[in-house]
Amino acid sequence: MSEVIGIKYDNKIFDTQTAQKECIKGEEIYFDNSMDALSIIRHSCAHLMAQAIKELYVDAKFFVGPVVDEGFYYDFKTSSKISEEDLIVIEKKMKEIAKRALPITKQILSKKQANEKFANDELKQAVMSKISGDEFGIYKQGDFEDLCRGPHLPNTKFLHSFKLTKLAGAYLGGDEKAEMLTRIYGIAFADKETLNAYIHQLEEAKKRDHRKLGLEMGLFGFDEEIGSGLPIWLPRGARLRRRIEELLTRALIIREYEPVRGPEILKSSVWKTSGHYDNYKENMYFTLIDDVEYGIKPMNCVGHIKVYQSSIRSYRDLPLRFYEYGVVHRHEKSGVLHGLLRVREFTQDDAHIFCQPSQIKAEVSNIIDFTRKIMGAFGFNYEMELSTRPSKSIGSDEVWQVATTALEDALQSNEIDYKVDVGGGAFYGPKIDIKITDAIGRKWQCGTVQIDMNLPQRFNLQYTDKDNSYQQPVMIHRAILGSFERFVAILTEHFGGEFPFFISPTQIVLIPISEDQLPYVMEIRKKLLHIGVYAEVMDKNETLSKKIRNAEKQRVPMIAVIGSKEVEQRILSIRDRRSKTQYEMQEKEFLDMVEIKMKEVSF
């Protein structure tokens, strides 16, 4: 049996020190890679890292060191300059300290005692200012101690499978006006096998980094003269996006969605009505026009509501399904911008469905089916999570029950094995989150399906029911990809740039051996373009081998080399990168084949 590291009692996780004082015997939590155990392991490892930093940099002061999805981190400051190379030194010191088998003890101080203890530490004072109550937990191991709620391991000897992963900067408390601290991230597991598997995943992720591949393949770029977080789509990247949009659009039309488009800038008064002004203002951009304040839209909901309000609606009109590839802007902090995954301008594959409460289940089932087809086309495994009513919410119990039950029924009738996040819904309604797993096992939050009773109420949306009474519709927010920017980043890393033929930015490269074959090559290219296949011609004065290498760098699925024999016999010599084969094909046979390949996938 594994080592016991903590106790679960009354739905709370306690460390062994607390458990001895405050708990009767409860359910044991074992030293494994379960989420409960990893939380304790990683929390303790954060303190181990801080102790190592303190021993190496004696003037170091520490802010916070929480557990996060990607492991743990600690924010601190020191007069010494920390570089990526120093992570190796810090990690070595951590291993040395862990082997000392230091007992980890807990002490409770009053607010007065804690203030006196950390009177000369402005970062600890900043931490305490955010904590209510008169009791502060202090965890100590050897000469190191820090404020913490816990729980922790009983001894540093349990920490043996960890790695520091990256160095970053972070503003104190996330405030851009505050001082910049150093942040070091790390990861920890219960065993070295799992750690090694994770390290391998990190190495593979570096090879697949969409920022690196995007530059190599000429998909997109950023220009500081334009601004941070504002991507520039180059022709190849724009072609990739357009193909995804075309597939989506065709599927949306079949599913009876109507295209709409709202303005990108709206008066602030409408954002006050929606609640964004009070609850989301810090993430928005504003400007004055004729002394009237306007806000650039951070989401497309309000525009679609105005489309709904443009006509009197009857129950016979419902459900109404509106979609828009809407460009939105959000004021993201510079420290969190990350390639296409986190930008300030992006395009959502947004849709809003206005329906009766009795129609929620059917609409959500349609969305689930749509999701299944999209994820299947790209080879993604995915899971869904249902989030229910939080403690602070609006709307009647009856409507919440109808909405939540409809989501549950839709998931169950579609045989979806889902998790439940109790109380994790939005204040205006329950939701389903779509989380995908890529080729190397990483999970990504992607789409969402949200039931909204708030905005219909705020904007007094109505429809006439069968008895001529006025009823309030339910609004379903739906985005499956999330945003084209984020989805392209995920796709690029999922495929390692080796996009499937049906969405590849350049599907075929045509290489004439000499200028004599150029007329035939251009003829073939024109025929390919007419059937929706994009082909590039490499006719520069370079060697054949160099042309092939350049095409390989672009990760183009097919290369067709055309010499005098090919022109005479109207054939193409194909190098198929995906199947790793070479073959010859008659022109018509080849055109028929690639046309079929373009139609193999639909949503």
At residue 3, the pLDDT reads 54
Active site residue 477: yes
For range 413-437, the mean pLDDT: 90
pLDDT at 587 over 50: yes
At residue 37, the pLDDT reads 85
What are residue 529's DSSP bridge partners? Answer: none
Q: Which position among 301, 349, 361, 507 bears the catalytic label?
A: 301
Give Cα 470 to chain centroid, integer Å: 40
- DSSP H/E element including 251: helix 235-254
Give Cα 588 to chain centroid, integer Å: 43
Please report, as a single letter, which amino acid is at residue 167: L
Mean pLDDT taken over the chain: 90
Active site residue 330: yes
Q: Which of 391-405, 486-500, 566-580 has the lowest mean pLDDT?
A: 391-405
- Tell me the pLDDT tens digit for each residue of 564-583: 999 999 999 999 998 889 99
More confident position, 173 or 239? 239
Q: Which position among 75, 146, 350, 452 bears the catalytic label?
A: 350
- Tell me the pLDDT tens digit for each residue of 192-203: 999 999 999 889
pLDDT at 13 over 60: no
At residue 29, the pLDDT reads 52
For range 344-355, the mean pLDDT: 96
Q: Of 450, 442, 491, 452, which is closest to residue 474 (Cα–Cα)?
A: 452
Q: Are 438 and 288 in contact (CB under 8 A)?
A: no
At residue 22, the pLDDT reads 45
Active site residue 206: no
**120-155 burial code (b ≥16 CB/10 A, e <16):** eeebbeebeeeeeeeebbbbbbeebbbbbebbbbbb
At residue 44, the pLDDT reads 94
Active site residue 317: no
Q: Model's pTM, two decimal places?
A: 0.82
Q: Which position among 17, 141, 348, 471 bears the catalytic label?
A: 348
Q: How far apart are CA 143 and CA 105, in angstroms?
A: 12
pLDDT category of residue 28 using cuts at 50, 70 and 90: low
Active site residue 438: no
Q: Which of 10-24, 325-339, 521-535, 570-584 has the lowest mean pLDDT?
A: 10-24
DSSP symbol at 57: S
At residue 403, the pLDDT reads 86
Q: Which position among 321, 477, 494, 547 bears the catalytic label?
A: 477
Active site residue 301: yes
- Tell me the pLDDT tens digit for each residue of 80-108: 999 999 999 999 999 999 999 999 998 89
Cis bond upstream, residue 298 (ω within 30): no
At residue 14, the pLDDT reads 54
Give Cα 38 to chain centroid, integer Å: 22
Q: Which position among 352, 478, 486, 577 bears the catalytic label?
A: 352
- Tell me the pLDDT tens digit for each residue of 468-482: 999 999 999 999 999
Backbone torsion region of residue 189, taken as left when φ is above 0, otherwise alpha when ψ lies between -120 and 50, otherwise beta:
beta
Q: How far apart are CA 403 and CA 431, in angstroms?
A: 9
Q: Which position among 43, 106, 276, 330 bears the catalytic label?
A: 330
What are residue 258's DSSP bridge partners? Answer: 322
pLDDT category of residue 416 using cuts at 50, 70 and 90: very high
Q: How far apart are CA 547 and CA 223, in angstroms?
A: 29
Count of C-beta atoms within a 10 Å radius of residue 193: 11
At residue 23, the pLDDT reads 42
Active site residue 478: no
At residue 21, the pLDDT reads 46
For range 398-405, the mean pLDDT: 86
pLDDT category of residue 25 using cuts at 50, 70 and 90: very low
Q: What is the DSSP string of 93-116?
A: HHHHHHTT--BEEEEEEEHHHHHH
Domains in the chain, CATH or no CATH each: 4-208 (3.30.980.10), 215-262+297-495 (3.30.930.10), 508-599 (3.40.50.800)
Q: Which position among 93, 276, 313, 431 bears the catalytic label?
A: 431
Q: How far is the CA of 102 from the CAs of 29, 158, 420, in angstroms?
A: 21, 10, 39
